[in-house]
Structure 1
Amino acid sequence: MSNTAVTAPSPVPDFPQTLGHPRPLWMLFMTEFWERFAFYSVSWALALYIVAHFYHGDPAGQAWASKIYGAYTALIYASSIFGGYVADKVIGYQRSILLGALVMGLGLFVVMLPSRELFLFGLAMVVVGNGLFKPNISSMVGQLYGPTDDRRDRGFTLFYMGINGGALLAPLLTGWLASYFTDTPMQENYRLVFGAAGVGMLLSLCWFWFGRRGLHGVGRPAPAAASRVRVAWVALGVAVAVPLVYLLLAFVGGSGLQWLLGLLFVGVAAMLIVEAMRHDRVQLQRVIAMLIIFAFNILFWMFYFQLGTSFNFLAANMVDREMFGGWMFPVGWFQSVSPLAIIVLAPLVTQVWSFLARRHLEPSIPRKFGLGLVFNGLGFTALMFALSRVVAGHGGLIPFWPLTLCYVLQTVGELCLSPIGLSMVTKLAPPRLVGVAMGGWFLSLAVGGNLSGLLAGRISGESGMTAASALSGFTFSFWLLAGAGVFLLLVSPLINRLMGGVR
């Protein structure tokens, strides 16, 4: 197959407009909405299901559940690198999205099956399908606008709201299903969560299948690369990739996967440095600055992704969730706090940056990352206070508010850090290796995700999470995050100089 891009570099079609944006944006919005509904449904229930079903509720299963969650999260992000390449070089964006959605949907139904082997095989299908879907649906949003169209950023903002809309709905609906839908044991209800996620993924597939005609060829391969033989080759690659991912989940484990991800990250860093050295000193310094920020990004997500493991175990076993009239707040609903906070706080954070920018006081990229780390760390202080000062007076349980406040503070940290990450990469990367640098960004999230599972496994230990182990782990998390954030704020002038005027 040719090693050139297969997506036709045609002008942007004259799309019909809806609410001031190209009409296909809203089709992509809903396609992403239902895919994110499926993804976040699995994310909140995954570790809890493993403990409930494969360990019959024994807390000793929390460590393995955390490691599987971390490895799954890491592979989700790492697979995006290869999925983007397939769309760019082999079959185009539309076909990548359709194939990825189909594989993900099938995988979510396989996850429902009671066998541990089939469960992990289903997760492997979700990982591979997500790699074909996730990076390419986002890329297509940008292709709806011309290079000088000032609506592009607003279009991505609307699309981002679709992501958070799906993330908000998923725990609310499926958390209710898991808690109240039937009288069967809880692990049976978790299977309903995975089934609902599968239905959501099929809705995403159908939405894109019927709506793609409105794209007027955007995202289709060039005529010379439109052969269905290429699709068959990619499908064969999927058939090979799924068992490989299964082996990584089932036998390599979190520690082994960390070595593989680390080596891959070092390889990406070496490629970027070598390419930068072919340019000039300024480009080399920019790459060094970018790699330093990548390292701090790993640290942020290592602790942020506790929401799927240790925070879930805390909510299920150590939080007083009884509300008015004896009603129990579903565990899954805690996972809706972050997307709700993003929807509420994102406009406010944007206004703060604009206010500071007008006065030439807007923080630089390294300072924003430092603030993100600090706010992430501050979230753990609420849990530290509750576990050390409040738990003894509430029958061994902590109140509802500390975990909620933790999610809100971590979301403020995410808003300081995450939205500028991809933009930073495009500004600092060598022009010929922007795609490789994007791969480095996703790899930093993957490494952080895997480390989050290893950390949660240490917090749970061999016998499951206790108040003492949670307090120890969360105290460690606070000090490491706060220390790293303050350090980054202090050295940000140096990193700013390395960035060579990029802000």
Structure 2
Amino acid sequence: MSGAAPSTTPENPIPEFKQALGHPRPLWMLFMTEFWERFAFYGMRWALTLYIVAQFFSNDPSGQAYASRTYGAFLALVYATAIFGGFVADRVIGYQRSILVGAVVSAAGYFVVMIPDQTMFLVGLATIIVGNGLFKPNISAQVGQLYARGDERRDSGFTIFYMGINAGAFVAPILTGILANRLMGDQGMPAYKMVFCAAGIGMLISTVWFWFGRSKLQGIGEPPKGAEGPQRVLAVLVGSMVAIPVVYFLLAIDAEILAWILAGLFVVLCVMVMVEGLREGKVSRDRAIAMLIIFTFNVLFWCFFEQAGSSFNFLAQNIVNRDVGGWEFPIGWFQSVNPIAILALAPIFAWAWIKLGKANPSIPRKFGLGLIFNGLAFLLLMYSLSNLVDSQTGQIPLWPLVAVYVIQTAGELCLSPIGLSMVTKLAPLKVVGLAMGGWFLSTAIGNNLSGLFASHVSGSEGMSVASANAGYTFGFYALVGAGVVLFLIAPLIQKLMHGVK
């Protein structure tokens, strides 16, 4: 029996949850669990490329390309391992135990990253990756399991959950940035070790929060029948320890080789999902096809969106004038612009999707809007790098980069929370966790490509105005072109979805 079965079969109906603010009460427990996990992740994420260049390349700009590729590979593997985490939850230990095991493993990784050695740094990243693979897809799948398939609140619930993700992402760079720059270090060499320590503490809080709150789920996500004992949990822990050196190897190899490996995994996953779809009948088959088509557009979106921690970091460091009345705007704080924009805009989007009713754009058209908004952000960068560069400093003003994050946020809200909801609507019933892993795998491929793209923008000598302008011009045309194509084929995709909105 699948771990998802309690929420999707007549034999295991959804419990009668008490409601809070129009949604099942467990949603708010999952909201806070995700808040602290994202605090940990984003508290460390903003510092990664800057730390690599500072610690392992003595701040030489030639290290930017390596840092970007490592960053892209890290994000890619964070999401790629979600495939295996979804399978473990579906077939081995259930969703709740997968989340707890993943949280403990991730927390250990954050503390290992503190060791100022390049090999141990990659080992720590590999440990975070393995833990996140067990945690990330399954916490999202638990949200979907709180709602019946026809429940109109589902999109709204996922958007609220997405606010929890971004509340943690907003607070983390600010607090860890203050800790690194003002309390423990300086602008020349921030105390990155304290950033990683704070992230580890955040992950521990997430673990404890879910441990005590999981009873509210009333059996949703418990182990499959016959697998209630501790033996399988121990086996998953051992498997995680074995997986860490494998992931370390994938981090250490060339990012282009990793791209081919991820592409191969994606093909295998598509086959597995389609086989299950064929078993369930024509409707399930067609919905699976529609879902996989949208996955491919998701790759392109994240390839360019995920410049935040790589090329945008170096853009902010070298080409953006961060002086604000004699005070220097911290680099890491740019990455709080996106989550605070989500906190401001997500309620509006959640309200709009419900208010529009029958006029609500279809899922593929929402994705098309996401791609176009992302492209418009790159259009602003093109304009800034062509027309707003100060002739004396060689820098652009601060406001265009802030605006870029806000515009990208609008695109993200059209796509990312809707994507999570889409998987729970379109995936064959017995492989919801695996399909959620597929969503994250498509994101992983995009993230790895984002590192390759960012390394190209920086080149061998570090980022320049010319290299940034050329790269971002390509990003604009690729995103807007894909968005237009998706709008044109949206009716075909919608037909394959058989009434799913």
Above 0.5 in TM-score?
A: yes
State the shift of 1:6 in Å.
Answer: 6.3
State the shift of 1:393 in Å.
Answer: 3.6
Map of 1:243-392 to 2, 5 A cutoff?
243-250=245-252, 252-276=253-277, 285-324=286-325, 326-354=326-354, 356-357=356-357, 360-392=358-390
State the shift of 1:198 in Å.
Answer: 0.8
8 A Cα contact 2:77 2:444, kept in partner = yes
State the shift of 1:277 in Å.
Answer: 5.3
SS of 1:392's equivalent in the other structure is: coil
- Deviations along 1:388-446, whole A, 9 cap, x unmatched? 11113461111011101111111111111222223333444445544443333222111
- Deviations along 1:430-468, whole A, 9 cap, x unmatched? 455444433332221111011001100111111111111
SS of 2:116's equivalent in the other structure is: coil
SS of 1:56's equivalent in the other structure is: coil
The counterpart of 2:407, out of the listed 387, 406, 409, is 409
Residue matched to 2:69? 67
Q: Distance in 1 between matches of 2:149 and 2:422?
A: 18
SS of 2:223's equivalent in the other structure is: coil
The answer as to 2:48 corresponding to 1:50 is no
Over 3 Å counting, the alpha-carbon distance change for 1:480 and 1:11 in structure 2 is closer
TM-score (norm 2): 0.91
Residue matched to 1:127? 129
Residue matched to 2:41? 39
8 A Cα contact 2:102 2:130, kept in partner = yes
Q: Distance in 1 between matches of 2:31 and 2:22?
A: 15
Q: Distance in 2 between matches of 1:302 and 1:455?
A: 8
Bigger drift between 206-215 and 332-341 goes to: 206-215
What is the root-mean-square deviation of aligned Cα atoms in Å? 2.7
Q: Distance in 2 between matches of 1:195 and 1:18?
A: 34
Q: Distance in 1 between matches of 2:367 and 2:16?
A: 39
The counterpart of 1:495, out of the listed 490, 493, 496, is 493
8 A Cα contact 1:6 1:225, kept in partner = no
Q: Distance in 1 between matches of 2:183 and 2:356?
A: 49
Residue matched to 2:477? 479
8 A Cα contact 1:8 1:221, kept in partner = no
8 A Cα contact 2:163 2:346, kept in partner = no
TM-score (norm 1): 0.90
Over 3 Å counting, the alpha-carbon distance change for 1:256 and 1:105 in structure 2 is same
Residue matched to 1:179? 181
8 A Cα contact 2:144 2:421, kept in partner = no
State the shift of 1:38 in Å.
Answer: 0.3
- Deviations along 1:346-391, whole A, 9 cap, x unmatched? 233344445544xx54332222221111110000111111111111
SS of 1:92's equivalent in the other structure is: helix
Bigger drift between 155-164 and 297-306 goes to: 155-164
- Deviations along 1:202-239, whole A, 9 cap, x unmatched? 11122223444555554433573222222211111011
Q: Distance in 2 between matches of 1:124 and 1:266?
A: 23
Over 3 Å counting, the alpha-carbon distance change for 1:91 and 1:351 in structure 2 is closer
Q: Distance in 2 between matches of 1:34 and 1:73?
A: 18
Residue matched to 2:241? 239
State the shift of 1:53 in Å.
Answer: 0.8
* Structure 2 residues without counterparts, runs of 5 or longer: 7-11
8 A Cα contact 2:274 2:288, kept in partner = yes
- Deviations along 1:134-180, whole A, 9 cap, x unmatched? 22223334455677877665554433222111011011111222322
8 A Cα contact 1:68 1:253, kept in partner = no
SS of 1:308's equivalent in the other structure is: coil
Bigger drift between 41-50 and 445-454 goes to: 41-50
Give the aligned residue type for 1:342: I
Q: Distance in 1 between matches of 2:265 and 2:443?
A: 13
8 A Cα contact 1:71 1:253, kept in partner = no
8 A Cα contact 2:93 2:223, kept in partner = yes
Q: Distance in 1 between matches of 2:290 and 2:215?
A: 43
Q: Distance in 1 between matches of 2:350 and 2:219?
A: 34
Over 3 Å counting, the alpha-carbon distance change for 1:343 and 1:85 in structure 2 is same
SS of 1:307's equivalent in the other structure is: coil
Give the aligned residue type for 1:194: F
The answer as to 2:200 corresponding to 1:198 is yes
Give the aligned residue type for 2:222: R
Give the aligned residue type for 1:478: F
Q: Distance in 1 between matches of 2:284 and 2:430?
A: 12
Q: Distance in 2 between matches of 1:424 and 1:25?
A: 18
Give the aligned residue type for 2:342: I
Q: Distance in 1 between matches of 2:418 and 2:428?
A: 18
Give the aligned residue type for 1:473: G
The counterpart of 1:418, out of the listed 393, 416, 439, is 416
Over 3 Å counting, the alpha-carbon distance change for 1:122 and 1:154 in structure 2 is same
The aligned length equals 496
Q: Distance in 1 between matches of 2:190 and 2:352?
A: 46
8 A Cα contact 1:111 1:122, kept in partner = yes
Give the aligned residue type for 1:408: V
